Structure 1
Amino acid sequence: MIIGLVTAIAASTCYGLGSVLQAVGSRRSARQEAAEQPDRQRTEHGGPSLNSTAKAVVTWEFLLGTVLDFVGFALAALASRLLPLFLSQTVISANLVITALASVKMLGLRLRRPEWAAIGTVCGALVLLAIAAGPEGHTHTPVGSHWLLLLISVLLISGGTLLVRRLGASGAVVAGLVSGLLFGALGIGVRVLGGINPFDLGTLLSDPALYAIMVGGLGGMYLHTVALQVGSVNGATAALVVGETVVPGVVGVVWLGDATRAGLTWLGLLGFVLAVVGAVAVAHYGEGEGALHPEAREPEPAR
């Protein structure tokens, strides 16, 4: 349990720092393209163009953030095998706290008292979950359910992409939510993936869960990039938190046999609800995050 918790916390830290670095790169790229080609930066609905998104992912900040994401993914995969999903996914999704704190320094954002209270709520909720969590459930599931997971992942990325492009500039929260669901599918896929213990390459490559992991990871990263380009960093990340926490947590309990310690179900449920509520609160208050510290504002051009 301790090793799993440490691994999940490390994954959360990598993801949180990675999100802010990706936001820095995405926004710098968007500003540059807006200056060079103001008419081609966004689609007719106000969403970012494919060209704009492609340029964002080659900035050094975004690349470094992506490296941290890959490290975080490896750590998160290990945590998903060591902990119940409702605990591992919630701890990992607490990268929102790291994102908010790092945004103060790297994006010049100002956190107000309600945001600090929401962050404290998330941290307290994680402590409750850690106390209440019991051993993880089983990992062996019918292969048909693995195909279903892959199908759902494909539908999420295709439908989510179309919806976000239709919504345009107002689609940041939707993009964050769908990316969270895709990352949640990734976590479930890692948990049920065959051919790991004992290792069998043939079983691993023939398992649809492996390809659900790929779709969930790549699709989630793409939609999260879009969310960072068009809206609040904390808001988009909080929507991601809800998507990647609630569904995997429920699936882990209902389908995979995850459970709390005897007599502590109420504490686990309380911690889970508080974690989600805290994330939503940060999303709500994070909508005002565009206000920079006076010293962080870019100077206006001389007239």
Structure 2
Amino acid sequence: MICALGSAVCYGTASVLQAMAARAAEPGTGSGVDPGLLLRSLRQWRYIAGLGLDGLGFVLQIVALLSIPIYAVGAALAASLAVTAVVASRLLHVRLSGIEWAAVAAVCAGLAMLGLASGEEGDRAGTDALRWSMLGVAIAVLLVGAAAGRLPDKSRALVLGLGAGFGFGVVEVSVRLIDSLALPGVLANPALYALLVGGGAAFLLLTSALQRGSVTTATAGMVLGETIGPALVGVVWLGDRTREGLAWLGITGFAVAVVGALALARFGEPPAPERTEEETAAREA
């Protein structure tokens, strides 16, 4: 659980550092999507530090997935939005409303309940059918992303966000389905390809959602997709359980943490850069 929370802290802090780097980068043309923004951001030490934290967060996430139930890891990762909100309020001077501070407290309370209720990870290895199913879901995520481009903005953001969440969920489940990294056996495991395709598809869909629709809607969809589905798979097919007699506390903690994260969904995107007085005057003219 410490690794899962550490992963959330890494992801949440990385988002703010990358936001600061993007704001400090040289302005683009203002004509919409700016492919050069990534290259300009890479000149900022904060962006490099954010990428390092993302890598460390992923390693901690893998360790957590191999030690505790998927539902606990999923809820902890959703809590990265709470970390982003708190860090942004300090470093980016973003004002949090009373409701948002209450949401941060709810996330912390939900994770505390989950920590008390969580048992050890399930002892089921998972079937070949489940491994192939994960690969099928990963491919379906790509197809959904391609089809979602024709939807209206609001619906498109929700579908892309959900798709990204399912992709990240495939990664969570696939880690548990790879029982050995020894060659050549691992190359015959469909879960390996599900992990790679699901992670890549999730990144592409989330990027498209943030560029072309409501960030809050997309992030909320992602949180739902990456928590509820994988949690059910872990309980039903992999044997994840809570401690004896504490199932009610685990369910309550999971629900509270996810609802709190949804209330903080607007922090899924870095704040836009502030305009100078000259830019404001030119825009008004």
1:1-303 alignment runs, 5 A limit: 5-23=1-19, 32-34=28-30, 38=31, 41=32, 48=33, 52=34, 54-58=35-39, 59-60=41-42, 64-164=49-149, 166-168=151-153, 171-196=156-181, 200-230=182-212, 236-283=218-265, 286=266, 297-301=274-278, 302=281
CA distance in structure 2 between the partners assigned to 1:233 and 1:107 by the alignment:
18
Write the letter of the residue equivalent to 2:277: E
The answer as to whether partners of 2:178 and 2:191 remain within 8 angstroms in 1 is yes
SS at match of 1:263: coil
CA shift at 1:148, angstroms?
1.4
CA distance in structure 2 between the partners assigned to 1:100 and 1:144 by the alignment:
40
CA shift at 1:281, angstroms?
2.0
The answer as to whether partners of 1:132 and 1:261 remain within 8 angstroms in 2 is yes
TM-score, reference length from structure 2:
0.84
CA shift at 1:212, angstroms?
1.0
CA distance in structure 2 between the partners assigned to 1:106 and 1:231 by the alignment:
26
Write the letter of the residue equivalent to 1:251: V
Deviations 1:66-103 (A, max 9, x none): 33222211211111010011112211221111111233
CA shift at 1:291, angstroms?
8.5
1:17/1:175 CA distance change after superposition, 3 Å: farther
1:227/1:56 CA distance change after superposition, 3 Å: farther
Determine what percentage of the aligned residue pairs are the same residue.
38
CA shift at 1:13, angstroms?
1.3
SS at match of 2:66: helix
Deviations 1:86-138 (A, max 9, x none): 11221122111111123334544221100111111111000001111111102
CA distance in structure 1 between the partners assigned to 2:2 and 2:90 by the alignment:
25
CA distance in structure 1 between the partners assigned to 2:222 and 2:125 by the alignment:
27
CA distance in structure 1 between the partners assigned to 2:211 and 2:22 by the alignment:
6
SS at match of 1:253: helix
1:219/1:18 CA distance change after superposition, 3 Å: farther
CA shift at 1:192, angstroms?
1.1
Deviations 1:217-276 (A, max 9, x none): 222222233344456666644432222111111111111110111111111111111112
Write the letter of the residue equivalent to 1:217: G
Write the letter of the residue equivalent to 1:85: I
Deviations 1:182-211 (A, max 9, x none): 111100000111314xxx221212211111
CA distance in structure 2 between the partners assigned to 1:8 and 1:193 by the alignment:
19
Write the letter of the residue equivalent to 2:5: I
CA distance in structure 2 between the partners assigned to 1:247 and 1:214 by the alignment:
18
CA distance in structure 2 between the partners assigned to 1:174 and 1:146 by the alignment:
24
CA shift at 1:165, angstroms?
6.2
1:91/1:21 CA distance change after superposition, 3 Å: same
TM-score, reference length from structure 1:
0.79
1:232/1:11 CA distance change after superposition, 3 Å: farther
The answer as to whether partners of 1:30 and 1:229 remain within 8 angstroms in 2 is no
SS at match of 1:82: coil
RMSD: 2.9
Deviates more, 1:160-169 or 1:261-270: 160-169
Unaligned runs of 5+ in 1: 42-47
Q: How many pairs align?
A: 275
